[in-house]
Chains A and B, each alone.
Chain A
């Protein structure tokens, strides 16, 4: 897939590849996302705002220029902002691919880091020369001011122009706790939220501190995603319970939402409102207790995001989906196109419903009028209703 190299959250021509529960693949304009969800569905988004988590500065002992990328925090509490996990690079910036970045000077506990108006101390290295725990000096208000005013959004070489926070905040961005944008949420705008309401599709949010997606180091990348704190509101837990009671689907907008919801569901006593720390990996074979479908960016095999998709669909289906993404010129990375993947064990499937429509059998589906326009735009690539080749 080719990289999306412009920071446009909602290009008019963005595409949506749809994989239904039976492994059938279809294509649609992403602008029509609401029409490819069903009345009664609940779309759950991550409302974390993205921190300007890249902090330039100087390593005290060596007087060397460094870039510190904040990458983790133990909680979402706004006054618990002194200690972070961080990845440290040597001189240079995002124009250099992360895998080619200069290593930082040797980092030791007690080293001072001068990061613009912020001053931090290395607490310890975390079993890797680039990964440290650090602590900022000052009051929470002063630390927030320093990060807000000195930091820049973390970015990678495929985007040449410097990103501003408005490039990486979703339209629902609220508490600033994400280290990189929960970019599946770039599809959202207020017109879409209105369209969901009119179609009888619920919308709920959780807050999840989406972590760093790449470190440029294979050993560190293998440890991703790091533990990520999240918060689930009572309203969202209730909305999920209502949706499940009606037999409707919970659709996660992004991998972070999936990770948080499935972590919460796996706790003893089941999902409840409050704070949690998502520390699990979702991979092929991970049972999905809550999430029936995911809307996500397009991901290349080998990334932790792609691994998560293997919990939704078989490798054979994902291979066909990847081939279709390539063939149809889908764009990848955070400003790229999207996929909607229905969990394979879910009953029925999007295409099955569209086929009913084609038969003009509107007794089956009260959403028939809403689906009609969408169905006309669908190009059915594989009618995989029985083609379970895994």
Chain B
């Protein structure tokens, strides 16, 4: 499937590396209007320059006081919003540690980035998403999760618990928002060759890992399927 996503307005958090960066590129290639968020202002500016037509926004999704500023900048960059991809993730303690050795602060940091940040940003952008739905456009939240959300991997406690909560949050939100035309899905992109994976498992063989570009293509196809479904319904 290679349909154009020309009028689709997509925001991606964690857009300057790994899967997020691959998504920005893939979505721009398909013609979508793209805004991305990441913490490092220098990298944000560099990526925005490199990927023509993308809007870079420097900010931290884990910080409550930035939530509405991010929502303003995203809506203003795109003139509204159809798809929000909550991709920015925190690993928790680095190097990975058993839960019993995990500082409370590291667990809180993982929850702030992986659960509460996506919750806040989705809430702040729900008005824009539901406005899109009322106009017969697709309205979709994609939360990036992990198989660590389902399986109990020793050493992945903070990350796994936060992603499990994000997965369940997605399922409940989808139940509640479906009647308002907004869908919320969780996607496990698989083990990828990304900076986050290298932080977790520095000795892993990159060749044995999925390429972020391949995972991004699958997610973009999934988004395109939702767009097509929304067009049929509208």
Contacts and interface: CB of A to CB of B under 8 A. Distances in A.
Interface of A: 47, 49, 51-52, 77-78, 81, 140-141, 144-145, 147-149, 164-166, 169-176, 190, 193-194, 197, 203-205, 207, 233-236
B79 interface: yes
Contacts of A173: 127
Contacts of A193: 180
Q: Which A-B residue pairs are the 4 nearest by beta carbons?
A: A165-B68, A148-B69, A174-B131, A148-B72
The interface centre, meaning the residue of A81, A173, A174, A176 with most chain B CB atoms within 10 A of its CB, is A174
Interface of B: 55-58, 67-73, 75-80, 124, 126-128, 130-131, 134-136, 176, 179-180
B179 A194 contact: yes
B134 A144 contact: no
B176 A233 contact: no
Given A49-B71, A165-B68, A141 B77 contact: yes
A311 B123 CA distance: 36
Contacts, number: 89
Contact of B80 (A140, A175, A235): A175
B76 A176 contact: yes
Given A78-B79, A174-B128, A147 B134 contact: no
A78 B134 contact: no
A205 B134 contact: yes
6 contacts: A172-B130, A175-B75, A175-B76, A193-B180, A233-B134, A235-B134
Contacts of B73: 141, 144-145, 148
Contact of A174 (B56, B75, B179): B75
B76 A140 contact: yes
Contacts of B69: 145, 148-149, 165
A204 B134 contact: yes
Nearest to B55: A141
A192 B212 CA distance: 41
B124 to A, nearest CB: 7
B204 to A, nearest CB: 37
Contacts of A78: 75-79
Given A145-B57, A165-B68, A197-B179, A174 B76 contact: no
B90 to A, nearest CB: 23
B131 A172 contact: yes
A164 B128 CA distance: 19
A78 B33 CA distance: 14
Contacts of B78: 78
A377 B126 CA distance: 33
Contacts of A194: 179
A194 B126 CA distance: 15
A175 B79 contact: yes
Contacts of B76: 78, 81, 140-141, 144, 148, 175-176
A49 B135 contact: no
